[in-house]
């Protein structure tokens, strides 16, 4: 199948798996489970779980075996967005074209919804079958490290602390390696591990994920400046309003675009050892560079 069909098929598989996994909205406390489903099934590209499945494909794996891991990274992402949108963080009223969780359910439920999604991610990942090379605990450690205080959460802290400050290129890279690239990298690593990838293959996919994550963030920064709220599905121009450190602010729009193209090539180079098996990863990487929302 072509990339479009793969994206649709993968997103459908992930949504169906998440629907089976998450408690029904009527389960008490119903307001919490309704909020969890509101945030998880709110549209979006499902990029992280799709990367997980595509990495499993690149390593010759069974995509069904990768589904618990794919669900886990989507749950982590969903929780991070709920908390990121809170008034004490980025204070946004829109996410994927709909009111954010705290606007619908209140701040208290939104905090608890994020907590519940975070916890559910590890419960989902615990269903991942061990392989010859990788134990279930290896999967759990990988996700815990990527989403913990030195990576995803630490990146959020660095991002908050950098607001209104002049930072250099290396500091900006450090923020986004943690805040954005860590979970994207973990997504491809987990998919590869479900396919019993070798340590060498895992190292190549780690390089790929880190480069892809940085390129993805640069394009995000550009879109925040160049696209409307209606196109983005979230409030445009938030980075400037919050005095955030961004690639366009540091390099200019043309410089940021050139940087994204350079780093995307690094990601593609890391896929060379996988040959045609990395078709979907390669096509998705090229598409992400050209995205408009």
* CATH assignment at residue 243: 1.10.600.10
Q: Domain tally for the chain?
A: 1
pLDDT of residue 293: 63
- The C-alpha atoms of residue 204 and residue 131 are separated, in whole angstroms, by 19
Rounded average pLDDT per 10-residue block, the chain, 293 residues: 94 98 98 98 94 98 97 98 95 93 98 98 97 97 98 94 89 95 98 98 98 96 86 72 82 94 97 97 95 74
Tell me which residue of 212, 155, 191 sits closest to 68, measured CA to CA. 191
Nearest to 142 by CA among 192, 190, 90, 209: 190
Cβ 154 vs Cβ 185: under 8 Å: no
**Backbone φ, ψ for residue 99 (5° rounding):** -60, 140
User: 242 and 163 in contact (C-beta within 8 Å)?
Assistant: yes
Specify whether the CB–CB gap between 7 and 50 falls below 8 A.
yes
What pLDDT sits at residue 213? 97
Q: What are the beta bridge partners of residue 94?
A: 99
DSSP-based three-state secondary structure for 97: coil
First CA to last CA across the chain, in angstroms? 24
Range of the structural domain that residue 53 is part of: 3-289
- Burial code (b: 16+ CB inside 10 Å, e: under 16) for 194-214 equals bbbbeeebbebbbebbbbbbb
pLDDT given at position 291: 86
State the pLDDT at residue 164.
86
Measured distance CA(274)–CA(13) in Å, rounded: 24
CA-wise closest residue to 255 among 178, 169, 183: 169
């Amino acid at each position: 199948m072509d990339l479009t069909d793969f994206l649709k098929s993968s997103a459908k598989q992930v949504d169906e798996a998440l629907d089976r996994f998450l408690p029904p909205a009527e389960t008490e406390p119903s307001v919490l489970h309704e909020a969890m489903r509101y945030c998880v099934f709110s549209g979006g590209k499902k990029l992280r779980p799709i990367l997980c499945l595509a990495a499993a494909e690149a390593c010759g794996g069974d995509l069904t075996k990768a589904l618990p891991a794919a669900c886990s990274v989507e749950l982590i992402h969903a929780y991070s967005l709920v908390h990121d949108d809170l008034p004490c963080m980025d204070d946004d009223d829109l996410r994927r074209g709909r009111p954010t969780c705290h606007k619908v359910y209140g701040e208290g439920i939104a905090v608890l919804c994020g907590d519940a999604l975070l916890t559910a991610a590890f419960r989902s990942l615990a269903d991942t079958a061990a392989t010859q090379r990788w134990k279930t605990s290896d999967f759990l450690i990988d996700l815990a490290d990527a989403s913990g205080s030195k990576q995803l959460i630490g990146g959020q802290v660095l991002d908050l602390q950098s607001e209104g400050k002049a930072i250099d290129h290396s500091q900006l890279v450090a923020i986004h390696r943690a805040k954005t690239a860590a979970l994207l990298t973990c997504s491809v690593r987990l998919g590869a591990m479900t396919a019993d990838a070798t340590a060498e293959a895992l190292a190549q996919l780690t390089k790929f994920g880190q480069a892809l994550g940085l390129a993805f963030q640069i394009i995000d920064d550009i879109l925040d400046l160049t696209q409307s709220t209606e196109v983005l599905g979230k409030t445009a121009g938030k980075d400037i309003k919050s005095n955030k450190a961004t690639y366009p602010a540091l390099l200019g729009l043309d410089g940021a675009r050139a940087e994204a193209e350079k780093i995307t090539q690094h990601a593609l180079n890391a896929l060379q050892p996988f040959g045609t098996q990395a078709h979907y990863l390669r096509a998705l990487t090229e598409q992400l560079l050209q995205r408009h929302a």
